[in-house]
Structure 1
């Protein structure tokens, strides 16, 4: 399955048919979503039953985990039909007015609800709907996506005032995390975390809210068990990210836990879960990585171009096979420097190819030429592995409700 090309939502629907009963309760789903990091906004893994051909980027893991979490929330709420689920999710996001379409999305969105939902979810995943911004910002994915799951659960229970509920959960989550940061000695990672959380807000603005502890009364009045579990886990994430928990921080966590209505067992479990998550995933958590700007730019662009090549390998292979001269020049570029004339020829021929493949339109936008050297370096190594991960076999297609 390829979450960066069209058809991935329907592909997930065909794959999940054999795993409909994987999570009989929301509690079982929540526990798994914590292990994957989705609850914490740090996606380290995806569901085991999904087979992949490529290593996923952070945003691709977030896409899969968000859809997975929404689907099994629907299932644990009594839902059965996958096509109805798609319609329900789309309606849910329409009510919340989550419809920020990017430049490419306005061109290439299909008419099917699943195609529209793919574009909508992509806009929901990214903090910035801007390729260049994401290149210079390692904090590319929305860290508060689990709030969507809580809101969808609220929506499925026919509860009203969905936008007000969205504002309430975000308000409590950001206040708890800021309050948790004030309970510890700050370092650079704390600043990164606070920036990530603030950037991920959708329904409220940091500029319009205070973080002085005055949220506590609203916290005490919130009686939804899963919303409160999430808020507790966010507090644990905030104080534990440096792998330490002193007396003050521990006192704060247990105080918050009590305010949320939990006993010491649940609070201790929440601390244990975040401890285990960091122990297993510390080296791969994006916002904890330190890189200079140049390295960050090159790495981000390399990953982007590599993903584009892999996702369009069949088309590229077909187009390149029709230009022996271009293939020869690309091959030569791996063993010697091309002349200025040869470089210009490669650039012009590649741009002609990119015009015929919509997913590669980024290369023909202003500034897109800066990606060509990376493309030329990667293409000889990556092109032979051509496939279409989102093709749904006839048997799978017949299983979709």
Structure 2
């Protein structure tokens, strides 16, 4: 399956028909979403029943996991595996949240509600309107509170009378917990980045109007579900994970929160252990934990994005390159020796002419896009036919 090519949701619907029993209940699904990092807003892995032909980017992983979480939540609540009804329900759900007021979904929620339109909706939900250049910095532009969409979808399916109000409430409590957990630490270090990440991920809540003084605990008297309480505890442990050994102030905070959420000390410790294990296992893959300078982050991020674009458009690129023998000759020469200024200019101009004919490669036409050409040239040998037609349903 290729989540950046048309037809990936149809392919998911085909694959999931054979896996209706893979998650017997919501709790098992939640544990899977923690394993993949989706609950933490850190997109590491996808469900094991989905096979892909290439290495996925973080946004592709996020798209797959969001769709997977929404689909099985629908199945649990409605006892219905009809994929077309699921697609229509997801559209109705986002409309009920008044997300049409949010510019990135304005056009998508109008017109026919097809799987193709759902692809656009999920794509926009992940990107939050960010462009290719600022998405190059990784997790900081990926929605870290996507799991809230799943929790709200669940209560929407249960015909909750005030879905949008509950959505704001969930975000409000979550961001409060993150701030209070951070304030319980003697030193903040990397965790500043986590709270900034959460700030930029709010969808339903206006943070300027939010009270972050700790009085949110009174809201635990509200009728939160056990799944929502589990999420609150995970977000608190997520903020405290770095030390691996908590000081007394941090431990008192997390135990106090546990009591407010009706969690035992054993349950709190188990949640914290899982978070620490997850980060220890995946630290090298988590962008905001790496102390790389901005230039390195940008280059690495753009290398991933350009690599993805090349693979997704390899069939068209191979055809265009085959029709330009001089360009192929110069590219081959550049692999073994330095091109002179005139040759480099010729390569640049001919490549840009090719990119003009492929809309998804418009990034190279943006101001400064030419600096990405060395990345493209380096990745040309990776033009593989297997990157195409991987959403075909036999």
- Please tell me whether the aligned partners of residues 220 and 260 of structure 1 are also in contact (alpha carbons under 8 angstroms): no
Q: Distance in 1 between the 2:305 and 2:23 partners? A: 34
| Alignment TM-score, normalising by the size of structure 1 | 0.91
Q: Find the counterpart in structure 1 of residue 388 from structure 2.
A: 388
| Alignment TM-score, normalising by the size of structure 2 | 0.93
1:187: Cα distance to partner?
Answer: 2.8
Q: Distance in 2 between the 1:144 and 1:330 partners? A: 44
Deviations 1:178-220 (A, max 9, x none): 0111111233211111110111111112222121111111123
Q: Where in structure 2 are the equivalents of 1:66-145 lying within 5 Å?
A: 66-77=66-77, 78-98=79-99, 113-127=114-128, 129-136=130-137, 138-145=139-146
1:136: Cα distance to partner?
Answer: 4.5
Deviations 1:64-104 (A, max 9, x none): 1111111111111112101111111122122224456669x
Distance change in 2, residues 1:7/1:269 (3 Å): same
Distance change in 2, residues 1:385/1:307 (3 Å): same
1:188 match: secondary structure? coil
Deviations 1:302-344 (A, max 9, x none): 1111111011111111121111111111111212222333223
Q: Find the counterpart in structure 2 of residue 397 from structure 1.
A: none
- Please tell me whether the aligned partners of residues 59 and 126 of structure 1 are also in contact (alpha carbons under 8 angstroms): yes
Q: Find the counterpart in structure 2 of residue 37 from structure 1.
A: 37
Q: Find the counterpart in structure 2 of residue 264 from structure 1.
A: 265
- Please tell me whether the aligned partners of residues 90 and 113 of structure 1 are also in contact (alpha carbons under 8 angstroms): no
Q: Distance in 1 between the 2:290 and 2:2 partners? A: 26
Deviations 1:233-260 (A, max 9, x none): 1111111233232222122112111111
- Structure 2 regions of 5+ residues with no counterpart? none
- Please tell me whether the aligned partners of residues 26 and 73 of structure 1 are also in contact (alpha carbons under 8 angstroms): yes
Q: Find the counterpart in structure 1 of residue 305 from structure 2.
A: 304
- Please tell me whether the aligned partners of residues 86 and 113 of structure 1 are also in contact (alpha carbons under 8 angstroms): yes
Q: Find the counterpart in structure 2 of residue 337 from structure 1.
A: 338
Q: Find the counterpart in structure 2 of residue 281 from structure 1.
A: 282
Q: Find the counterpart in structure 2 of residue 290 from structure 1.
A: 291
Distance change in 2, residues 1:98/1:388 (3 Å): farther
Q: Distance in 2 between the 1:102 and 1:326 partners? A: 39
Q: Distance in 2 between the 1:9 and 1:146 partners? A: 19
Cα RMSD of the aligned pairs, angstroms, is 2.3
Q: Find the counterpart in structure 1 of residue 251 from structure 2.
A: 250
Deviations 1:31-68 (A, max 9, x none): 11111111111122110111112111211111111111
Distance change in 2, residues 1:223/1:393 (3 Å): closer
- Please tell me whether the aligned partners of residues 139 and 287 of structure 1 are also in contact (alpha carbons under 8 angstroms): yes
- Structure 1 regions of 5+ residues with no counterpart? 395-401
Q: Where in structure 2 are the equivalents of 1:358-397 lying within 5 Å?
A: 358-379=359-380, 381-394=381-394
Q: Where in structure 2 are the equivalents of 1:195-234 lying within 5 Å?
A: 195-234=196-235
How many residues align structurally?
Answer: 391
1:43 match: secondary structure? coil
- Please tell me whether the aligned partners of residues 98 and 164 of structure 2 are also in contact (alpha carbons under 8 angstroms): no
